[in-house]
Amino acid sequence: MIDSGSTTFMLVCTMLVFLMTPALALFYGGLSRRKNTVNTMFMSIAIIGVVGVLWMVAGQSLAYGGDGSPFIGGFDQLFLNGTLEEVLNPVDGTFPPIVNIAYQMMFAVITTAIITGALAGRMKFGAVLTFAGIWLLLVYAPLAHMVWGGEGSLIGSMIGALDFAGGDVVHISSGVTGLVLCVLLGKRRGFGMLSYRPHNVPSIVLGAGLLWFGWFGFNSGSEFAADAVAGLALLNTAIAPAAAMISWMAVEKLMTGKATLVGACTGLVTGLVVITPAAGFVAPWAALVMGIIVAPICYYGISWLKKKIGYDDALDAFGCHGIGGIVGGILTGLFCVPELSWNDMGGLLYTGDPSLLIAQVEGILITVVFVVVMAFIIGFVVKKIFGGLRVEESVENEGLDVSLHGESAYPAFNGLD
């Protein structure tokens, strides 16, 4: 027998995580310049297609197939081989394994889509999709295995780092990859001189709202059962972003005199990111603290570090997801309630023992190093294939929408940009 309650829970959470990618398209689309709106949204939408198909073809197998390598799954589930048999001959368990395949597919899609925030306005479309496909198979799938591959996996089992819903696997991996591509791509022409601003604030609000909505499924679904811990994960996923939003607004008020709506939305996203690795591990008060802490750190990363170092992370994929994910991973090592931990290590604050904290940092370091190396290599290969990652100057000036796709986002509206 399976548990129809938890099965329903996982079915619904799968749908919710799916929704995050269209939500991200709206979020990123609103943040982009008007002339690049179609291209920006298209990157996320097309990734649903590319990753959806590739996950079925090989991703699921590479991540969760095989027999227990520390680094990667196997080839036994290519094309979801064996899945239909499981449907026809159900085994006992909380829910049918096929539901988890769909759930994991949605994780792979949104993770890959997050990267595109760093690329807005200048990358060849074919290169984006090719990079996304290779990255899924060579970075995401192995990393998911290392962290969530169970018994014997490098980060999750051998090191014992905790990652409830995807601090390492989702946010650090995508954010850092975004950063690497920024460096490979170079800045948008006119970066720093031109007045880049979001072109559609309601679209950003809608995107952020739907992201948050979907994120409830993302974080509480990662409990894989409809129980009290799922409730805790849900509550924490409400509290941390609420706190981070207020915290970001306070920082803005202090630094520039005015709280902005785009700022509030950015702040809540950093709160969502920071609570992701911790959602089912920490108490509600800790979620509050994590939300308050993460916003100023990301604010600083986006407004100061980015200018200082000089990379052009257009829509702040690294600034929000990379930095926020690292902060969240580390704080999990501090605040994890021992009784809720997946292994015998608890947060420093409760146990006085830094083992978990150290494991968290190790997990993050391995993730960062692995991702940086792989992203550079894949980036170079894709650059070779396409004769450069970047569009022509004239395409960039005219806007990628009309040049690359022959479409304008709002052809019946006048305006500048």
Q: Which is nearer to a copy of itself, 38 or 161 (CB)?
A: 38
The residue (of 7 and 355) whose beta carbon lies closer to a copy of itself is 7
Q: For another protein, which residue of 39, 252, 330, 356 counts as binding (CB under 8 A)?
A: 252
Q: How far is the CB of 114 from a copy of itself (least distance, A)?
A: 16
Q: Using CB distances below 5 to 8 A depending on partner kind, what does residue 394 bind out of a copy of itself, another protein, none?
A: another protein
Q: Which does 328 bind (CB under 5 to 8 A by kind): a copy of itself, another protein, none?
A: none
Hey, which residues does 2 pair with through a beta bridge?
93
CA distance 280 to 325: 15
Q: Does 415 participate in binding another protein (rule CB under 8 A)?
A: yes
Min dist. Cβ of residue 110 to another protein (A): 21
Three-class DSSP category at 93 = strand
Return the residue of 76, 344, 392, 407 that touches another protein, per CB under 8 A. Answer: 407
Q: Helices marked H in 32-140 — which ranges?
A: 37-54, 60-64, 83-88, 97-115, 125-135
178 scored as a contact of another protein (CB under 8 A): no
Q: Which is nearer to a copy of itself, 69 or 100 (CB)?
A: 100
Partner touching 321 among another protein, a copy of itself, none, CB below 5 to 8 Å by kind = none
Nearer to another protein, 46 or 262 (CB): 262
Interaction of residue 163 with another protein, rule CB under 8 A:
no
CA quadruple 289, 370, 163, 226: dihedral sign: positive
Burial 373-385 (b: 16+ CB within 10 A, else e): ebbeebbeebbee
For a copy of itself, the closer CB: 241 or 329: 241
Give pairs for 334-338: CB < 8 Å, separation 24+: 335/278, 335/281, 335/282, 335/283, 335/286, 335/289, 335/290, 336/162, 336/278, 336/281, 336/282, 337/281, 337/282, 337/283
Q: Using CB atoms within 10 A of its CB, is residue 247 exposed (0-12), middle (13-18) or buried (19+)?
A: buried
Minimum CB separation of residue 408 from another protein in Å reads 8
CB of 403 to another protein, least distance (A): 10
CB 108 within 8 Å of CB 137: no
3-state secondary structure 329-386: HHHHHHHCCHHHCCCCCCCHHHHCCCHHHHHHHHHHHHHHHHHHHHHHHHHHHHHHHH
User: Which helix (H) or strand (E) element contains residue 152?
Assistant: none
CA gap 136, 335 in Å, rounded = 31
123, 391 in Cβ contact below 8 A? yes
Q: CA-CA distance, 1 to 329, in Å (whole number)?
A: 36
Nearer to a copy of itself, 356 or 404 (CB): 404
Q: Is-contact 293 344, C-beta < 8 A?
A: no
Q: Cα(391)–Cα(192) distance, rounded to whole angstroms?
A: 19
Q: Which does 265 bind (CB under 5 to 8 A by kind): another protein, a copy of itself, none?
A: a copy of itself
Residue 123's beta-bridge partner residues? 390
User: Which one of a copy of itself, another protein, none interacts with residue 343, CB within 5 to 8 A by kind?
Assistant: none
The site that binds another protein (CB under 8 A) totals a number of residues, namely 33
Binding residue (CB under 8 A) for another protein from 130, 260, 343, 355: 260
Question: Quick one: which of 53, 84, 87, 255 contacts another protein (CB under 8 A)?
Answer: 255
C-beta closer to another protein: residue 126 or 190: 190
Residues of span 3-62 touching another protein by CB under 8 A: 35
User: Which residue in the set 84, 194, 309, 373 belongs to the binding site for another protein (CB under 8 A)?
Assistant: 194
Strand partners, 390: 123
Shortest distance (Å) from residue 184 CB to a copy of itself: 23
- What residues numbered 305-344 form the site for another protein, per CB under 8 A? 306-307, 316, 319
Residue 302, binding choice from another protein, a copy of itself, none, Cβ under 5 to 8 Å by partner class: another protein
- Report the partner that residue 96 touches, choosing among another protein, a copy of itself, none (CB closer than 5 to 8 A by kind): a copy of itself
Q: Is 235 in the site for another protein (CB under 8 A)?
A: no
The pair of three-digit structure tokens given for residue 121, joined into one six-digit string: 């306005």
Taking the least distance from each CB to another protein, the nearer of 89 and 414 is 414
**3-class secondary structure, 66:** coil
Q: Which residues bind another protein (CB under 8 A)?
A: 35, 190, 194-198, 251-252, 255-256, 258, 260, 262-263, 266, 299, 302-304, 306-307, 316, 319, 394, 397-399, 406-407, 414-416
